[in-house]
A and B are shown apart, each in its own frame.
Chain A
Amino acid sequence: MKLSVNACDKISNAIEKYSDRVYRICFMYLRNKAEAEDAFQDVFLRFMQTTKEFESDDHEKAWICRVAINRCKDIVKSLRYKFVSLDNIPELHFENEQDSTVLDAILELPPKYKDVVYLHYCEGYKASQIADILRSTENTIYSQLSRARALLKERLGEDYEC
């Protein structure tokens, strides 16, 4: 089937704008490159299939983050994921050793803390915005951020910054 110019542009733009974000969320949650790649493709497929009219770019970005998080949660809950042996999960190697250490610490966080850490520190969302995306309350987000910081501090010591 021949795609329209609009559809092609939409695909290119979406991948250019959101590929890094989506992949990060997927990887943080799933800690597995193969699973993360599957989830990554699923998220973009949903994005292209949705008929939702977005009010703004921010709205679009928040929607895609939400979809990515939900998709990852679904995978985590699935039987297939539960039976993946931890031995099969490849070790993460980053050129920067410090980054690797921090990432290990973040990935060890409980999922609910990973969400807020990513959205706050990487995407720069405020607590109220995170509450909207995760459909939670602002106070909850504050307390989750506080606990996440405490855990990171515990694991990384004093030598890290947000």
Chain B
Amino acid sequence: MKIMSVKSALESIKPDEKLVYNTEKLLRSRIGRKKFSLSKLVAAAACLPIVLGVLFLSFYVYNLPVSYISFDVNPSFELGINRFDRVVDVNYYNNDAKSLMSKKEVYLHKPAEAIDVIMAELDKKGYLPIDKSTTIAIAVNCKQPSDSNKLLGECTKNLSKYPERINVIGYTVTGQFREEADSLSISFGKLKLIKIIQQLDKAATVKDFEGQSITSITDYLSYLTSDEYTGADENIKNSVKSYIDSIKTKVDTDSKTNTEKQTAIAEPVKTAVETEVKAEVQTEVKAEVKTGAANETGAGNVTTDAAAAKATAEEEAAKATTDAAAAKAAAEEEATKATTDAAAAKAAAEEEAAKATTDAAAAKAAAEEEAAKATTDAAAAKAAAEEEAAKAATDAAAAKAAAEEEAAKAATDAAAAKAAAEEEAAKAATDAAAAQAAAEEEAAKAATDAAAAQAAAEEEKARAENEAAEAGT
């Protein structure tokens, strides 16, 4: 019997050649591929909600408005600004706004860029006519008031492209006010103006104005604050007026470029100066000094504003303006001096006339007649002195107006302005000197007349005494 071997039996187990071949082929195809791992898949699946959650949260936070800009012309918008200073939301408050532009045109733009886009669309679609001025209201709501002012400044800085065609009013509102406007389906910028109207016109309702343009609303406000309207308390009118002025000024200051700004401020100042001088020369010369000081402040503002804008040109303009202001001040000083001298002369003449009158009253009828003549002369002298003073003041005002004009011109031709101002100042000084001389002459003449009158009176008295003595004899 054969011996059975365990080793031999086990070695008889062999893989098929086909299996070996397939295995080798399989290995060649599999090696190099990444091994599929269920645990990695499970981990990835577990992380997926977290990743999606973070993505969703990020998206939500990015698209969450934290500040709002209300932009009203007649199209009425509200732009939502996220914490990264990008426009992420646009609310339309009327059909004009809807047809003007779509959200995607301003989405993720910076506020100033968005305003540019809107302005371009407004211009293209005829909301900013060339022949008349359009009023635009920009209202801002941020959590922090300082942020509101900053954002408002940003929004209005690019509006100087249309300086002749638009008036801009800009203001800030609180979050609570914005919510109230939201509940009334009206932009908070427009609601603010309507609330102001309601202070003056109790019968006004939101419905009355929600469809109207800002230009109409501000025109109505102007009427309500004017003297023609008597339906509101003067104090309220004044406070509303000052508020409207403040929001207008604010935007103008922020929005105009240096040249435009200079013109915008200098022109009203110049006009105001002219008007004030004209009015005050007619009444009191004394008050003019004050007005001059105010004008100087206005001119100083011009200089300051101009200096803040451009570097080199502004420096030139500031220098010229300062020179012109100095010339103007000198001219005013001369005018003031002349006025003071004339007043002194007038006072002296009056004093002399009064003295002559007293003396003449103590004399006889002839003396009285002479005294009356002296009084008449003194009055004439006084009238002449006043006329001279008025002339001097007019000349000074003219010199000042010329100086102001020169200041306005200073940005373009500083040297010419300076020369003209100096010339004007010199002229004013000469006129003042002439006025002073004339006044002094008149005063001297009055004094001489008074002395002559007194001598005549004494002569009459002596003759009367002689006659009395002869009569006695």
| Cross-interface CB contact of A102 among B1, B6, B23, B32, cutoff 8 Å | B6
Whole-angstrom CA separation of A96 from B31 in the bound complex:
39
* Chain A contacts for B31, CB-based, 8 A: 3, 7, 11, 48-49
Q: Are A121 and B24 in contact (CB under 8 A)?
A: no
Q: Are B3 and A121 in contact (CB under 8 A)?
A: no
Binds A, one of B10-18, B52-60, B153-161, B166-174: B10-18
Whole-angstrom CA separation of A22 from B14 in the bound complex:
9
Select from chain B the residue with minimum beta-carbon distance to A95: B12
Q: Are B12 and A94 in contact (CB under 8 A)?
A: yes
Distance (whole angstroms) from the CB of B26 to the closest CB of chain A: 6
A-B contacts, 27 listed (Cβ < 8 Å)? A1-B32, A3-B31, A7-B31, A12-B24, A15-B24, A23-B15, A24-B10, A24-B14, A28-B10, A28-B13, A37-B19, A44-B27, A45-B26, A45-B27, A48-B31, A98-B4, A101-B4, A102-B8, A103-B10, A106-B10, A121-B10, A122-B10, A152-B6, A156-B4, A160-B6, A161-B3, A161-B5
Contact digits for A36-68, partner B, Cβ 8 Å, 1 yes 0 no: 010011001100110000000000000000000
* Chain A contacts for B26, CB-based, 8 A: 41, 45
Count class of interface residues, chain A: 35 or more
Sort A-B residue pairs by CB-CB distance and give the 3 closest, nearest first.
A102-B9, A160-B4, A23-B15
Whole-angstrom CA separation of A11 from B30 in the bound complex:
11
- Looking at B3, B30, B31, the one whose CB has the most chain A CB atoms below 10 A away is B31
Contact digits for A4-24, partner B, Cβ 8 Å, 1 yes 0 no: 000110011001000110111
Select from chain A the residue with minimum beta-carbon distance to B20: A19
| Cross-interface CB contact of B30 among A48, A122, A159, cutoff 8 Å | A48
Q: Are B9 and A11 in contact (CB under 8 A)?
A: no
Q: Are A44 and B23 in contact (CB under 8 A)?
A: yes
Distance (whole angstroms) from the CB of B27 to the closest CB of chain A: 5
Distance (whole angstroms) from the CB of A54 to the closest CB of chain B: 17
Whole-angstrom CA separation of A37 from B26 in the bound complex:
12
Select from chain A the residue with minimum beta-carbon distance to B21: A15
- Looking at A12, A23, A94, A100, the one whose CB has the most chain B CB atoms below 10 A away is A23
Dominant secondary structure at the A interface: helix
* Chain B contacts for A122, CB-based, 8 A: 6-7, 10-11
Q: Are B6 and A117 in contact (CB under 8 A)?
A: yes
| Cross-interface CB contact of A121 among B4, B6, B15, cutoff 8 Å | B6
* Chain A contacts for B1, CB-based, 8 A: 159
Q: Are A106 and B6 in contact (CB under 8 A)?
A: yes
Distance (whole angstroms) from the CB of A104 to the closest CB of chain B: 9
A98-B4, A118-B10, A162-B5 known; 9 other A-B pairs, CB under 8 Å? A19-B15, A37-B15, A40-B15, A48-B30, A49-B35, A106-B9, A152-B6, A161-B4, A161-B5
* Chain B contacts for A28, CB-based, 8 A: 10, 13
- Looking at B20, B27, B28, the one whose CB has the most chain A CB atoms below 10 A away is B27
* Chain A contacts for B13, CB-based, 8 A: 20, 23-24, 27-28, 103
* Chain B contacts for A8, CB-based, 8 A: 28
- Is B33 on the interface with A (CB-CB < 8 A)? yes
Within 8 A of B (CB), among A91-111: 94, 96, 98-103, 106
| Cross-interface CB contact of A159 among B4, B7, B22, cutoff 8 Å | B4
Q: Are A23 and B14 in contact (CB under 8 A)?
A: yes
Select from chain B the residue with minimum beta-carbon distance to A22: B15
Q: Are A98 and B24 in contact (CB under 8 A)?
A: no
- A interface, CB within 8 angstroms of B: 1, 3, 7-8, 11-12, 15, 19-20, 22-24, 27-28, 37, 40-41, 44-45, 48-49, 94, 96, 98-103, 106, 117-118, 121-122, 152, 156, 159-162
- Is B2 on the interface with A (CB-CB < 8 A)? yes
| Cross-interface CB contact of A162 among B6, B19, B32, cutoff 8 Å | B6
* Chain A contacts for B24, CB-based, 8 A: 11-12, 15
Distance (whole angstroms) from the CB of B9 to the closest CB of chain A: 4
Whole-angstrom CA separation of A37 from B35 in the bound complex:
21
Whole-angstrom CA separation of A62 from B61 in the bound complex:
60
Distance (whole angstroms) from the CB of B293 to the closest CB of chain A: 91
| Cross-interface CB contact of A20 among B3, B14, B23, cutoff 8 Å | B14
Q: Are A102 and B27 in contact (CB under 8 A)?
A: no
Select from chain A the residue with minimum beta-carbon distance to B17: A19
* Chain B contacts for A44, CB-based, 8 A: 23, 27
Select from chain A the residue with minimum beta-carbon distance to B25: A11
Distance (whole angstroms) from the CB of B4 to the closest CB of chain A: 4
| Cross-interface CB contact of A48 among B7, B8, B19, B27, cutoff 8 Å | B27
* Chain B contacts for A152, CB-based, 8 A: 6
Q: Are B20 and A121 in contact (CB under 8 A)?
A: no
Contact digits for B415-432, partner A, Cβ 8 Å, 1 yes 0 no: 000000000000000000
Q: Are A96 and B6 in contact (CB under 8 A)?
A: no
Select from chain A the residue with minimum beta-carbon distance to B2: A98
Distance (whole angstroms) from the CB of B23 to the closest CB of chain A: 5
